[in-house]
Each structure stands twice: as structure tokens, then as C-alpha cells.
């Protein structure tokens, strides 16, 4: 395989599922390129990536805040009413002496999801303004490191499991946060599936290399 | 013009850029992350995390996951005991979910990681037919789901603490959370390039 220089490797992509090497080809707006070996998505093309990403990540942040301040579920058991919020769930672990589990849960369901959406918002805002080449790079690296550790979706399924366990013992009412959390989880899944860091690196290159070439002219 | 051997191309685990494999201490041309800093220790590190995870998994199954205190009398149940109880009560789907999340996924992940770690050192027969990258990708994707039971216990404990009825998390919750945590670390420490046997 012959290349002009090392930077030309940017036109290649290795499938993240099966590690087959592919050459990147231009694709139509709104479509995706899939791996010929395993069918996994390689990349998508969206000319309004920054705008879409910004809108999605800010909605995500709003939903996350809503999901954290209102009661998640409320139960009625033997005439007593109890409700939980996400922070309360984590805090009650600390209160009963489970510091380690509490800490792990705090990071997995609160700190990391919040950080991810904050980083997304800043990233897309910077990409939109076409500023901060260096910060974008650092944020993208940080994002890749914490992405695998965000578990909002798993936490949501856990709530469902816990509620099913309680059917028959208690009366259950869903709180505002429950619906906000559904929204957040759907958004989170959509964003992690569809706005891949790979596309953000490509967008960064398109923006700042174009700029550099303009400077030269 | 430069000539590159296609087999010498690797993917940066952080930013996914295609890089030329330069062996030890090569840093990614795009994000600058050092791709293989602990080159010689990768399997050792991964083994250490994995063994810790397996050791933590033993108390996770022996000690109670949660204790239900009802009018003064306490009743503890382990992970397996909880699954059996759910099954007997007819909550089959939930029993299945917990069974998969707490037993099948962790054990499967241990086995796949052990297989991958052994196969990079000692090539096993018929190896060629298995796409080990896909196997690795699968463990990364399903691994976190084993946290379900820990979260469920946390939610139940937070929700139910009345004077008469209380649900308290058990020792197993800590052990289990640690086990999941170390399995994830073991998988992350596992150098995907090892699969190709290019070290
Ligand atoms: Zn593929
Ligand atoms: Zn990189």
C-alpha cells in the first residue's frame, strides 16, 4: 500500500468490531458507511453535525437535571409513603456504610453521565464556533476515556427490575424524574450510537485544515 | 511517497485514528495518546485485574446480597437465592434478567478474557476460525450490564427503610461491584493488538 505521507492515513478506518481496514469514501448526507465484513457502522455523514450535536447535548443536560431533582418513583407501603431520587439512592448507600459501592454508583450513574453531556455541549459549541483546536483535542481524548463508564441505561433497567420486584408489596407511582430519565437514556443511547467520536475528529480536521489552507492563500 | 505494510496498521484505542505500528512507546499521530506504553506488561496487568475480579466474585456469591428486615426478623438472600426466590414466585422474566446479568455475563466474561489471554501467549488450535476482535468487542459491550443487581439493591435499599420493613444491602454488593469493576479494568488493560500476535 502506497501513501503520500502519514497524514493520508486519515482516509482509512479500521472497523471497531472486527478490525478490518477500509478506505474512507465520501457518502451522501444522512447516510452511513458499514463494514463489508461484519456490517458494523464505520461512520456517518452529517453536514450539520455540530448543530445537531449541540441541540441534542443541551436537551440531554436539561433532561439529566430534571431526572436528578424530582422524585423518581414513589411507593406506598403499609400506609407509609416513600420516594427516591437518583442522588438519594446513592446517598443512602453511604448512609448505610457502603462507601465503596456508593462511590462506584455515584460515578457510574451521576458523575460520568453528567461529565459526558457537559463535554459534548462544550465540544459541539466549540466546533460550531470553529475555535479551540487544542481544547477540542483534549476534550475528545477525555470523552473517549470516560464513555465506557457511563451506565445510565443500565441504571434505568435496574429501576424497572426493582419496581417489578415490589409489585404486590407496595403501590407504585412514577415521578417526574422517571419520565425525564427515560428521555435522557434514549438521548444518551442515540448520541453514543450516532455521534461517534470518529466523526468529531473528522469534523475537527475539516474545520481547522480548511482554515489553515485559507491562511496560506 | 511512502510504502506501508497494511498489516502494520493499528487503530488508536482512544481516537480510532489509523496509525503505523512502531512497536513500543508509539504515540498516536492524532490524539497523542501513547498507544503501547506498558507493552511488556499488558498481559500481566490484565491477568492481575482478572484474578482480582474472580476472587471478588466468590464472596459476591457466598454472602447475602440483601437483607429484608420485617417486623424484627431478618431474612438474607444471596444472588442465587434471590434468583430462585423470584423464579418460585413466578417472576420469570426478572429472574432471567438477574440470572443473565449476575451469573451468565460475569462468568462468560471471565472465560472469554481467560481464553484471549491464554491464546495470545500459546496459540490454540482452530484459532483462526474465531474472530477474536469480535469476541473482545462483545465482552466490552455486555460487561457493564452485570451491574444491574448492584443497582437494584441500591434502589431497593433507598426506597424501603421504614420502621417495620427495611431492605439493607449486603456484603455481597461490595464484592460484586468490585468484581465488575476489576473485570472492566482487565478488559480495558487488554491490549487489542495482542490478539494479532504482533508483539
Ligand atoms: Zn467490521
Ligand atoms: Zn489516537
Closest CA to B68 of A61, A165, A216: A165
Which residues of chain B lie closer than 8 angstroms to A135, CB-CB?
A: none
Domains of chain A by residue range? 1-45, 49-216
Of B20, B154, B159, the CB nearest to A6: B20
What pLDDT shows up at residue A106?
94
Higher pLDDT, A77 or B55: B55
Q: What is the pLDDT of residues A148-164, one digit of tens each?
A: 889 999 999 999 999 88
- Tell whether B34 is within 8 A of chain A (Cβ): no
Question: Is residue B37 predicted with pLDDT exceeding 60?
Answer: no
- Tell whether B51 is within 8 A of chain A (Cβ): no
**How many secondary structure helices (H) and strands (E) does chain A include?**
8, 8
| Residue range B12-27: mean pLDDT, rounded | 81
Question: Is residue B68 predicted with pLDDT exceeding 90?
Answer: no
Q: Is the pTM of this model over 0.90?
A: no
- Residue A17's pLDDT band (cuts 50, 70, 90): confident
Domains of chain B by residue range? 1-35, 41-196
Q: What is the pLDDT of residues B70-124, one digit of tens each?
A: 777 778 888 999 899 889 988 888 899 999 999 999 999 999 999 888 887 777 6
What pLDDT shows up at residue A64?
96
Interface probe, candidates B20, B145, B155, B181, chain A, greatest A C-beta count within 10 A: B155
Closest CA to B6 of B16, B17, B25, B20: B20
Interface probe, candidates B52, B64, B154, chain A, greatest A C-beta count within 10 A: B154
As given in the structure block, the three cell numbers for residue A5 are 505521507
What pLDDT shows up at residue B124?
67
Closest CA to A128 of A64, A58, A186: A58
- Give the B window 101-160 contacts with A, CB below 8 Å: 131, 133-134, 137, 140, 144-145, 147-148, 150-152, 154-160
Q: What is the pLDDT of residues B130-172, one digit of tens each?
A: 678 888 888 888 888 999 989 999 998 888 877 677 888 888 9
What pLDDT shows up at residue B26?
75
- Residue B199's pLDDT band (cuts 50, 70, 90): very low
Angle at A193 between CA A39 and CA A181, to 5 degrees: 145
- Tell whether A78 is within 8 A of chain B (Cβ): yes
What pLDDT shows up at residue B38?
47
Question: Is residue B66 predicted with pLDDT exceeding 70?
Answer: yes
Amino acid at each position: 500500500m502506497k501513501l503520500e505521507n502519514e497524514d493520508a492515513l486519515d482516509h482509512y478506518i479500521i472497523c471497531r468490531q472486527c478490525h478490518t481496514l477500509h478506505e474512507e469514501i465520501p457518502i451522501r448526507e444522512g447516510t452511513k458507511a458499514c463494514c463489508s465484513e461484519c456490517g458494523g457502522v464505520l461512520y456517518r455523514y452529517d453536514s450539520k453535525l455540530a448543530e445537531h450535536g449541540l441541540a441534542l447535548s443541551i436537551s440531554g443536560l436539561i433532561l439529566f437535571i430534571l431526572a436528578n431533582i424530582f422524585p423518581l418513583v414513589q411507593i406506598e407501603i403499609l400506609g407509609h409513603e416513600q420516594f427516591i431520587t437518583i442522588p438519594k439512592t446513592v446517598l443512602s448507600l453511604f448512609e448505610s456504610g457502603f462507601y465503596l459501592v456508593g462511590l462506584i454508583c455515584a460515578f457510574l450513574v451521576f458523575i460520568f453521565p453528567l461529565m459526558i453531556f457537559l463535554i459534548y455541549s462544550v465540544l459541539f459549541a466549540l466546533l460550531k464556533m470553529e475555535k479551540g483546536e487544542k481544547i477540542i483535542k483534549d476534550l475528545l481524548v477525555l470523552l473517549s476515556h470516560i464513555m465506557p463508564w457511563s451506565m445510565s441505561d443500565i441504571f434505568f433497567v435496574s429501576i424497572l427490575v426493582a419496581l417489578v420486584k415490589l409489585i404486590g408489596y407496595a403501590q407504585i407511582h412514577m415521578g417526574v424524574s422517571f419520565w425525564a430519565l427515560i428521555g435522557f437514556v434514549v438521548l444518551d443511547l442515540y448520541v453514543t450510537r450516532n455521534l461517534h467520536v470518529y466523526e468529531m475528529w473528522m469534523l475537527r480536521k475539516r474545520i481547522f485544515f480548511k482554515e489553515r489552507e485559507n491562511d496560506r492563500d | 511517497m511512502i510504502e506501508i505494510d497494511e498489516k502494520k496498521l493499528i487503530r488508536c484505542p482512544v481516537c480510532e485514528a489509523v496509525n503505523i505500528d512502531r512497536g513500543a512507546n508509539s504515540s498516536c499521530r492524532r490524539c497523542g495518546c501513547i498507544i503501547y506504553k506498558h507493552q511488556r506488561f499488558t498481559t500481566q496487568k490484565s491477568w492481575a485485574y482478572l484474578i482480582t475480579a474472580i476472587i471478588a466474585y466468590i464472596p459476591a456469591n457466598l454472602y447475602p446480597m440483601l437483607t429484608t428486615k420485617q417486623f424484627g426478623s431478618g431474612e438474607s438472600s444471596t444472588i442465587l437465592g434471590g434468583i430462585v426466590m423470584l423464579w418460585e414466585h413466578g417472576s420469570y422474566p426478572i429472574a432471567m434478567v438477574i440470572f443473565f446479568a449476575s451469573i451468565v455475563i460475569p462468568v462468560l466474561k471471565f472465560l472469554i478474557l481467560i481464553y484471549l489471554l491464554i491464546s495470545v501467549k500459546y496459540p490454540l488450535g482452530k484459532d483462526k476460525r474465531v474472530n477474536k476482535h469480535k469476541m473482545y468487542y462483545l465482552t466490552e459491550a455486555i460487561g457493564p450490564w452485570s451491574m444491574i443487581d448492584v443497582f437494584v439493591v441500591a434502589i431497593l435499599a433507598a426506597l424501603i427503610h421504614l420502621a417495620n420493613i427495611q431492605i439493607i444491602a449486603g456484603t455481597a454488593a461490595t464484592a460484586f461491584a468490585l468484581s465488575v469493576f476489576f473485570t472492566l479494568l482487565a478488559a480495558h488493560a487488554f491490549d487489542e493488538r495482542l490478539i494479532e500476535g504482533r508483539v
